[in-house]
Structure 1
Amino acid sequence: MCLSLVVFGCATSNENIAKVPEKRLVAQAQKKAEAIPTEIVAQTGTATDKNLDQRQRLRALPNKYLSQNIVVQPEIKRAVKSALTAKANGDVEGARASLEQLAINHPTLSGIKLHLGDIAIIAGQLDKAKDYYQQVISVNSDNYFAYNRLGSLYRQQGSFAQAKANYQAALTSWPAFAEAHLNLAILFDLYIGDKASALHHYKIYQLLSENNQRRVKGWIVDVSAQLQRANSD
């Protein structure tokens, strides 16, 4: 995995990186969602061999974000690491100021604005966070971290269709992104009421997750029981 891209996420091209209108970004997320590979649409099996095969197929699908292999200068890495250390130590304002200057100096590194969005979340500035995450996507349309965070913000604000589109857009950039599968499963389960889709994504999350969480196993059992009862009525 390319750490530079996880932290920085460079632009995919020499595109215009000015702020993009929210409606256009939502449409972009919906368009990306339509391109989800069929490998993650098929229902996940339960047999061990089948699960291993499915996991291998998912992980073999291209990660469009990391495959960019952007080289980031060591001094920029050190500056971002220093800002994140300051944030972890409680100096959120110092971290924000450092990252804002880095974003001005290096506007094609989308991950810097991703961190600024995270700081806005800490400050309770949800609209500002959304704006930063949208700027990330305008710089790098395959930054699945930004889509995933936007999905969660839209879910909190009750915009479930937009949340769904952004989670699915994250999976278009990387079909094996376990966190987006979990978030999409929760959205389908608790907010949209599509239990079959929820079960599908819970199972894929369980398949991909290194930590086989007991709570997710419980959710799978619960949703499976709900579907069984619904089918027997």
Structure 2
Amino acid sequence: MHYIKKLLSMALLLTITACSNQSTTTNTEGENQNTQSSVQELQLYKSAIIALNNNELDKAEQLFITMSERQPNIAGSWANLALISIKKTDLTQAEVYAKTALAKNPNMPQALNLSGYLAQKKGEINKAKSYYLKAISHKSDYALAHYNVALLFDIYLQDIAKAIEHYQFYLAYSEQKDENTENWLEGLKATMAANNT
């Protein structure tokens, strides 16, 4: 934390110095307030993410609500509120938050992926597929969206070739090894090969 503050302070100091060299008038009071506000926003965000990662859902929810009140046009807070609502199994509220996130940023991959998950839960498989594929079109290395659409192709749509393709992308882009999916993928490949002979 200390390192982040120090780095942020140095970056802001360099920015302020560069700006002051370009103009003979300075507004140090306004700049100090902006710097302090930025540091506070960064700390609030960090606290919210830590709470979410620690599964402290009520705390994370309150922090993200505060962020959404301070910066209502930032889609990330709304997407995180949708995720928290999903974790709390309040899918109706999750859908409201996901829609708000997409209203703020219609191309946000995380909000699209969450919307796909919510559509899938409601049995709207083609709508879910559309959301997942749109998420991937905006972030081609989005492992979770590849996994989710692979499941749709595999389980619901019975398109094994496309399922294999997206499972492979998921495994390639995933930050952790997933032996279960690797084994499942090998089984799908064997089934597909047997059906093609």
Determine whether 1:193 maps to 2:158.
Answer: yes
Q: 1:140 to 1:218 in 2, by over 3 A?
A: same
Q: Distance in 1 between matches of 2:84 and 2:178?
A: 28
Counterpart residue number, 2:94: 129
Counterpart residue number, 1:229: 194
Counterpart residue number, 1:75: 40
Alpha-carbon distance, 1:160 to partner: 0.6
Larger radius of gyration: 2
Preserved CA contact (<8 Å) 2:61 2:84:
yes
Instruction: Work out which of the residue numbers 170, 176, 179 in structure 2 matches 1:214.
Output: 179
Secondary structure class of the residue paired with 1:107: coil
Counterpart residue number, 2:167: 202
Counterpart residue number, 2:24: none
Structure 1 residue identity aligned to 2:60: A
Alpha-carbon distance, 1:129 to partner: 0.4
Q: Which runs of 5 or more structure 1 residues have no equivalent in the other structure?
A: 1-71
Normalising by the residue count of structure 1, what TM-score does the alignment of the two structures yield? 0.63
Determine whether 1:149 maps to 2:114.
Answer: yes
Alpha-carbon distance, 1:89 to partner: 5.5
Q: Distance in 2 between matches of 1:158 and 1:167?
A: 14
From the two aligned structures, give the one with the greater helix fraction. Answer: 2
Identity %: 27
Counterpart residue number, 1:103: 68
Alpha-carbon distance, 1:164 to partner: 0.3
Where relative contact order (Cα < 8 A, 6+ residues apart) is larger, the structure is: 1
Structure 2 residue identity aligned to 1:194: D
Structure 2 residue identity aligned to 1:153: L
Instruction: Work out which of the residue numbers 129, 137, 151 in structure 2 matches 1:172.
Output: 137
Q: What's the Cα RMSD here?
A: 2.1
Structure 1 outlier segments of 4+, above 6 Å: none
Q: 1:229 to 1:91 in 2, by over 3 A?
A: closer
Per-residue CA shift, 1:178-226, capped at 9, x if unaligned? 2211111111001111111101111222233343422222122111122
Per-residue CA shift, 1:71-106, capped at 9, x if unaligned? x92211211222344455665334323322321220
Q: 1:106 to 1:207 in 2, by over 3 A?
A: same
Q: Distance in 1 between matches of 2:180 and 2:51?
A: 33
Counterpart residue number, 1:62: none
Answer with 185-194 or 116-125: which moved more: 116-125
Normalising by the residue count of structure 2, what TM-score does the alignment of the two structures yield? 0.73
